[in-house]
Structure 1
Amino acid sequence: MKKLFYPLMLGLAFAGFSCGSSSSENQTQNTGAAALNPGQSAVVDNVSNPNVVQVAVGSADHSTLVAALKAANYVDALSNVGPFTVFAPTNAAFDALPAGTLDDLVKPENQRTLRDILEYHVLLGVYKVEDFANGRNLGTADGRSVTVTKAADGSISINGAKIIGTVSASNGIIHVIDQVLLPK
């Protein structure tokens, strides 16, 4: 029994040491690959329904929003599973901001402020138009809240920004709005 036991243990120990070395090499290689991985937004999928970011990228009316998402390093977060409700200001909404506001916000030193503003446009969960009730406060991704106003004609506004269209996405819903929401 001893004659079989010791060689078996020695073989197992050697195999464990050998596997540990290989595992370490794999970890080093994987760590290097992870550092080069650009994130969820780099996944190419032309078969599935587009996510909220892909919908915005495909809209000529939202190129300023897409540029802001990139400047705030917020693309990967909104490319994830969600679900999200995004209030997406049009290019015209961004153009209506005071002169120089957007140019200032996209500077690297203002990245956190820009991200806070963009997170103010995001709700966690899917809120369809029929879910909005007059006076309802909804918590935003930045920890603040927005208020829903439902007019007599049925139109809906979020903090005064009118919803002018709605688009479904694979990870949520987008409500196109005519103003940029600015936290107080």
Structure 2
Amino acid sequence: MNIPFFLKSSASIFLMLCLLGCNSSEKTESIDKTTDAKANLNEVSSSNKGQAFIEGDSDVVNALSLAINSPDHTTLVKAVQAAGVENALVNVGPLTVFAPTNAAFDKLDKATLEDLLRPENKSKLANILIHHVAPSNYPIKTLEKNIEKNRKLYMADGQYLEVTKQGQDLYVGGVKIITSVDVSNGWVHIIEDVLLPKN
């Protein structure tokens, strides 16, 4: 059967458009995933919605549940709740959280800390907290490789932190890592000071 030329050419054009559309949607999907990950990390929710608020008896320990169950991180948990960024520490993965202890927060001026916890400073507090999150998987070995390759860590607030080593101790942004814990959505590195972003 002879197919008219104009039908052949129309079919060819349609096929090319489909291929271009598929290729374009794959690229868009990749960009969307990156955007979604960053949006989740920057999430400042004003309502109790999302995975962080689902009740259950799950044995899975993520970055948030680790902090909640740690007596040394009650101030961090209070700050996370005040800023409304609980879901960012649950939904996104892999991620690396540098978690300051209560003693780290105690080093801050008391008036400054109380001021940050006020509702009107929610976004400022959220920005400080996401400065402690890297949207990638950084176990100790990877952090050490970053030192060898002179690579800085990209943090969720868009700033970069340098990783250094003094003796056997690792430092991020000049702050010492005390210990590290592998969690379901990445890594939590316990640190002895609060990481304050540059203005």
TM-score using structure 2 length: 0.71
Matched, 1:165 2:176: no
| Pairing 1:12-161 to 2, within 5 Å after superposition | 38-132=49-143, 133-134=146-147, 135-151=150-166, 153-161=167-175
Q: Deviations over 1:102-156 (max 9, x none)?
A: 10001111111101100100001110111113343111001111110112x2210
Aligned-residue Cα RMSD (Å) equals: 1.5
User: Secondary structure, in 3 states, of the residue corresponding to 2:162?
Assistant: strand
Q: 1:37 to 1:165 in 2, by over 3 A?
A: closer
CA distance in 2, matches of 1:56, 1:99: 21
1:36-80 Cα distance to aligned partner (Å, 9 max, x none): 872211223423421100000000000000000000110011111
SS of residue paired to 2:157: coil
Aligned counterparts of 1:170 and 1:61: Cα–Cα separation in 2:
20
Separation in 1, partners of 2:111, 2:196: 15
Letter in 1 for 2:189: H
Q: Which amino acid aligns with 2:78?
A: A
1:160 to partner: Cα distance:
1.3
The percentage of counterpart residues that share the same residue type is 46
Mean Cα displacement is larger for which, 69-78 or 132-141? 132-141
User: Could you say which structure has the larger radius of gyration?
Assistant: 1
Instruction: Supply the distance in 1 between the matched residues of 2:153 and 2:92 (Cα, whole angstroms).
Output: 20
Write the distance in 2 (CA, Å) between the matches of 1:42 and 1:116: 21
Task: Find the aligned partners of 1:126 and 1:45 in 2 and give their Cα distance.
Answer: 26
Change (3 A) 1:37 1:95: closer
Secondary structure (helix, strand or coil) at the match of 2:87 reads helix
Give 1:101 shift: 1.3
Quote the Cα distance in structure 1 between the aligned partners of 2:48 and 2:168. 46
Whether 2:192 is the aligned partner of 1:178: answer: yes
Distance in 1, matches of 2:101 and 2:127, equals: 18
